[in-house]
Chains A and B, each alone.
Chain A
């Protein structure tokens, strides 16, 4: 195994893991730069959790290599340096919320203040509630607190906002953004596209245990994109005449009557927008409800992974 580049916090190469002969992770490779947020994005059962659990040292890969902060995943030296938020569970059911956080804080040399952390995550009202009586969302937030309280360099968050209400989701996002700003590397799995879009520097789209796309959110949404310009106007504008005024490669259609769609390869640029509105002006057509639309990460995701439901 060659050493990972010094600015790489996590390097996964050719990872393979099969259960009962079925490959759950199939030659997966990606890397995460220090101090960045990487989102492993994929539908349910894509192999995201198995991948992070191998990185956390909970499972052994059948093939491939993983380097976590330059070390093997099971190296005990990593334990204080890596924070883990598993998808479910992970607390003594009989300990109170604050007791559990203080216990895990006591394992660290210079932990965050547990009471302050509870407060930031809205858990102060349930600080004395036993873990088993916390709601699902409260358990999730405590789990997040447990992952970061030891002030790690690298944090794995497995579906950190699954089942959270909007307020708790925003508190979680703010924490991830603050971690990133302070130089902590974050690897999160999610199937929420807005989460990846908002938090991640880099996105790795995984399906059937393989990387189907990787790059920044901007790269993913712009590659092979079709810019769309929609407007409403009086019916039966002369589209051939309109197209003659636009750059080569554009298409235009009216559907339904009075609703127009102009598509251009790449993005809709200001020139195209100006050309369309200028043409409308010369034809005394009022363009109303003018909208420029870009492919969202969701469009890309569904294109890559298909629209069929996952079991």
Chain B
């Protein structure tokens, strides 16, 4: 296996950004879909939960159909699972394995790396939303409201959860991130208005309703059930997004 002279002659140069981004996003998406725990967290659990919650009446619903109440909540859970939990755990272990450090020594700009991750998150969310909506419709869900308002909520929610995920995964070790992200996923599942409205918590409601999961699930219900424009929830998510992304960009450690 000898090398021909000139074969390794330097020819340095960065690829066009578009090519880097496409390759990075494809790789990130592959990693998510190949990761069993992440598929479980992002697809299997939300889908199973939706079917069980709608068809088995062990959690009473105040008014309207069970599907109308639970589809928005599970959509919020799905966004949280992918943008926050999955991303935090992924980034935590990538740091631990020295991946991000290694990529830091390649022509890939950090912005393209993060944009690639974001595109992969959005692609998974598209898959989740499609599957959950189809399942919801099959279970008798009757959505109302504006699609644009739903997209705005999901995009702002994704930004807020991504910021929180990068903050967690970018500052703690892989295993600590794994534990913290899963714990927070469960806490927010219970307290975030996914299973029952935050109003059930009485005096704690004003605080709990500001949690990103609660704002997203409540906002989605406002749009999809009442065809309203949930400005307060949009504002809460926007504040979470700005704060978490700013904190992540300051505190994120690449190794």
Contacts and interface: CB of A to CB of B under 8 A. Distances in A.
B250 interface: no
A40 interface: no
Which 8 residue pairs are nearest across A and B when measured between Cβ atoms? A109-B13, A90-B102, A89-B98, A178-B3, A106-B23, A84-B105, A151-B11, A153-B10
Contacts of B255: 58
Contacts, number: 130
Contact of A107 (B11, B20, B101): B20
Given A91-B97, A91-B99, 13 more contacts: A80-B12, A89-B98, A89-B101, A99-B30, A107-B15, A107-B20, A108-B15, A109-B14, A151-B8, A152-B12, A153-B10, A153-B12, A174-B2
A182 B108 contact: no
Interface in A151-183: 151-153, 171, 174-175, 178-179, 181-183
Contact of A148 (B6, B8, B97): B8
Interface string B79-102: 000000000000001100111011
**Which residue of B6, B10, B20 has the most chain A CB atoms within 10 A of its CB atom?**
B10
B120 to A, nearest CB: 12
A278 interface: no
Interface in A127-163: 146, 148, 150-153
A153 B10 CA distance: 5
Given A58-B101, A86-B98, A107-B108, A182 B1 contact: no
28 contacts: A57-B105, A58-B104, A58-B105, A58-B255, A79-B106, A80-B13, A84-B105, A86-B101, A86-B105, A89-B97, A89-B102, A90-B97, A90-B99, A92-B94, A95-B30, A103-B24, A106-B15, A106-B23, A108-B14, A110-B13, A146-B102, A150-B12, A150-B106, A151-B12, A178-B5, A181-B3, A181-B5, A182-B9
Interface in A62-114: 76, 79-84, 86, 88-95, 99, 102-104, 106-110, 112
Interface of A: 56-58, 76, 79-84, 86, 88-95, 99, 102-104, 106-110, 112, 119-120, 146, 148, 150-153, 171, 174-175, 178-179, 181-184
Interface residues of B, number: 37
Contact of B107 (A79, A88, A89): A79
Interface of B: 1-3, 5-15, 19-20, 23-24, 27, 30-31, 34-35, 93-94, 97-99, 101-102, 104-109, 255
A1 B34 CA distance: 49
Given A82-B105, A95-B27, A182 B10 contact: yes
Given A82-B105, A103-B23, A175-B3, A89 B8 contact: no
Main secondary structure of the interface of B (DSSP, over half): loop
B34 to A, nearest CB: 6
B243 to A, nearest CB: 28
A127 B240 CA distance: 42
Nearest to A103: B27
A112 to B, nearest CB: 7
**Which residue of A76, A107, A183 has the most chain B CB atoms within 10 A of its CB atom?**
A107
A150 B20 CA distance: 13
Contacts of B5: 178, 181-182
Nearest to B96: A89
A187 to B, nearest CB: 13
B14 to A, nearest CB: 5
Contacts of B102: 84, 86, 89-91, 146
